[in-house]
Structure 1
C-alpha cells in the first residue's frame, strides 16, 4: 500500500493513508488530496519524508529557491534534476557559447532522462520549474498507470530570497523569465493553500526555507 509519511519525531506522524489504485483499473473517483503545511515551524519540521515505493514526487518553487540543493542533499533514490542535465551540457560546450544556443538540447536530454527513470518503475523525485504544467500532467498519468500517487513538494520562498539564491550560485534567469516563474508559482501556491493541488496530485507538502534546511531524507518506503 502506498502512503505518504512525514516523520516529525522519532515515532513519526503519518499523513492519512492513500490506497493505491491497481494498475489498469478504470478511472474513477480518487481520494481527496492531502495538503500538509510545514512552514513556520521554527525548527520543528520533520527531518524525513517517505513516500510509497512507486510514487512520484515533484519538487517545485522559484528559480533560486533551493530545489536542486535540497534534492542533492536529501533525496535517497532516483532523482531527475534539470539542473544536473544543464551542468553536464555546460561542461561539454565551448565556454563562450551562450546557453540559449543549446537550451533545446538540454531540455530534450532532460526529458529523455526523465522518461528512462519512469520506465524503471520505482519511485522518482523530479525537479519542476513550475511553468511546465504539462510535465505534472505527464507524471500524474504515469503515477495512475502504475497504481501509485503523484505528490507535490512546494518550496515557498520569497522572491528576494530566490534572487539572492541565484546570485549565490552565480547563475540566474532573465527578469522576464523570473516574472513568468513567479506568476506560475504564485498561482500554484494559492491553489494548494486553498486545498486544491493540481489535478492528479495525491498530496501536497508546503515547506519554507527553514523546513527545507531541516529535511535530511526524502525517500521511498519498501
Structure 2
C-alpha cells in the first residue's frame, strides 16, 4: 500500500520523504499554487483524480482561436473565461482542483467564502520550486514571464510559502496547506478525493509538524 497523507492544518514536507498520494475529503476544493514554470499544470494533469480548472487550458483555447494575436491583447478575456468556468464548476459541486499562481489573494478568499457556504473545505497545495527551477520550466514550455511579472510572482509566493511554515492557525476558511518540494512532487502518484467514511489513510512515518486545531471555515 502506498504511503498516503490526508492533509489537515500545516504540512511542510521540505527535507522529508513525501507521501505517494495525497487524499482529501470528497467534495472539497484544492488550490494548487506555485511560481510560473514550477510544474503546476503538469502535476495536476498527471495526479489529479478530480475535475481540474486550469487557466492554462483557457489560454490555450484562446490561442488556437486567435493565432498570431499577442496574448497581452486578449489576456482580460482569458481571465474572465477562466473565472466563469471556475464559478460554474463550484456551482456544479463535487471535488475540484484549481490552478492558481498566487498573485491574487482575493481569489482564494472568494473561494474560501464560497466553499464554506456550500459546506465544503478549501485546501492549498504549494509546489515549491526555486526561481531558477521555475525560470528553467518557463524556457522548457516555451513561454516566458516578463521580469516585472516574475518579480511580482516571487513576492506573492513568499507570502504563500509562509502559510505552510509559520506558527499559529491558518487563515479563516483554509483547512490545510501543504508545502511540496518540486523533487517530491515528481514522486507523487495521485491526488485523490475520498469519502470521509472510507478506510483510514496510511500516513508516511515522518514526524509531523506541530498541528493547530482545525477551525471551522468562516464567511468573513
TM-score scaled to structure 1, two decimals?
A: 0.83
Paired position in structure 2 for 1:189: 161
Is 1:131 paired with 2:103? Answer: yes
Q: 2:22 aligns with which of 49, 59, 68?
A: 49
Paired position in structure 2 for 1:10: 2
3-state DSSP class of the match of 2:52?
strand
Paired position in structure 2 for 1:39: 14
Q: What is the distance in 1 between the residues matched to 2:55 and 2:5?
A: 32
Q: Which has the higher contact order (CA 8 A, sep 6+)?
A: 2
1:37-186 superposed matches below 5 A: 37-41=12-16, 44-95=17-68, 97-186=69-158
3-state DSSP class of the match of 2:126?
strand
Task: Provide the aligned C-alpha RMSD in A.
Answer: 1.5
Quote how far apart the aligned CAs of 1:40 are: 2.1
Quote how far apart the aligned CAs of 1:14 are: 4.3
Q: What is the distance in 2 between the residues matched to 1:74 and 1:118?
A: 20
For each residue in 1:128-147, what CA deviation from the matched residue of structure 2 results, as whole angstroms up to 9, or x when unmatched?
A: 11111111011101221111
Structure 1 unaligned spans of 5+: 1-8, 17-33
**CA 1:12 to 1:74, structure 2 compared with 1: closer, same or farther past 3 Å?**
closer
Quote how far apart the aligned CAs of 1:12 are: 4.1
Quote how far apart the aligned CAs of 1:190 are: 2.1
Quote how far apart the aligned CAs of 1:15 are: 4.6
3-state DSSP class of the match of 2:111?
helix
Structure 2 unaligned spans of 5+: 196-220
3-state DSSP class of the match of 1:214?
coil
Paired position in structure 1 for 2:178: 205
TM-score scaled to structure 2, two decimals?
A: 0.83
Paired position in structure 2 for 1:25: none
3-state DSSP class of the match of 1:151?
strand
3-state DSSP class of the match of 1:39?
coil
**CA 1:11 to 1:82, structure 2 compared with 1: closer, same or farther past 3 Å?**
closer
Quote how far apart the aligned CAs of 1:94 are: 2.3
Q: What is the distance in 2 between the residues matched to 1:166 and 1:11?
A: 31
